[in-house]
Amino acid sequence: MAVNTEKNSYTVIFAIGMVVIVGVILAGLFSWTKPMITQNEEIEKQQNILYAMGINENDESSAVFVSTEVASKEFASNIKEQMVITVDADGKMLKSQTRDEYMAENNNKEPYLIDIKKQKSNAKSGEPRQLPLFIGEKDGKKIYVAPIYGKGLWDAIWGYVAMDKDMVVQGAYFDHKGETPGLGANIKQRFFMDDFYGEHLLSDAGVFKGITVAKGNADPKNENKTDNEVDAIAGATITGDGVTAMIKSDLKLYVPYFKSLKK
């Protein structure tokens, strides 16, 4: 039974059949795996936040999260509070809520699940923006972890920055969707992330300056912690600029909150 595969009608039927079969397979697989993938992503967010505040299982050279089994438990015991700060489009602080206050409102989910990308686009269209801030304690010191989100060379980059009350970085975690392996993708490597530890986000006069990922940095060992600079990755200029930009734009919004702590 030879089929004439050259006929137009056969081609159309084949194309339709193929699309239907592939569509059904992919849609089925997607809805079957979705709950598991969502759960994995939530655990990953918890691991990222814990990593930034220094709770991880790093060995000598590579970045290792706390294991997925204990992540939720560690998160619950180490993150004492999840604040949600609401700012208007100009960055003026409107209100700050605790986790319980926030979740009581409109059946909101946990603050750590707030979609930073969506909040950013809210701000662009002039609406208020919600900023989550995770507060924990390490070695007797209060640590504040804030999420950041931006654009690399190919796709999204994001991260979490842990700070003390003076906005001195206590740890950072960066991740990316599709930066070039071996170049931009190295923002999630220890040698890059560790450099941020101890860096000041404010100038000596207390003005927000952020941290610049600087090319041709005169301080490759990163001993000067008040220069607001870390050493860039060779061959990853645009990804590095993206990191600089997201630190500047997103952490700046938290400055009024940190100022209010001082009062």
Instruction: Decide whether 96 or 237 has the Cβ nearer to other proteins.
Output: 237
Distant-in-sequence, close-in-space partners of 45: CB < 8 Å, separation ≥ 6: 112, 113
Nearest approach, Cβ of residue 164 and other proteins (Å): 27
Q: HEC profile for 156-190?
A: EEEEEEEECCCCEEEEEEEEECCCCCCCHHHHHCH
Residues 6+ apart with CB under 8 A from 151: 157, 242, 245, 246
- Based on CB atoms, which residue is closest to other proteins, 142 or 190? 190
Amino acid at 108: N
Pull the structure tokens for residue 68: 């997925």
Nearer to other proteins, 164 or 219 (CB): 219
Q: Which residues bind other proteins (CB under 8 A)?
A: 3, 5-6, 10-11, 14-15, 18-19, 22, 25-26, 29-30, 33, 36-37, 40, 44, 61, 68, 176-183, 185, 220-221, 234-235
Q: Whole-number minimum distance, CB 245 to other proteins, in Å?
A: 21
Q: Tell whether the torsion through CA atoms of 71, 76, 81 and 84 is positive or negative.
A: positive
Q: Shortest distance, CB of residue 236 to other proteins, whole angstroms?
A: 9
- Residue 168 has φ and ψ, to the nearest 5°, of -100, 130
Shortest Cβ 125–other proteins spacing (Å): 30
* Nearer Cβ to other proteins (21/94): 21
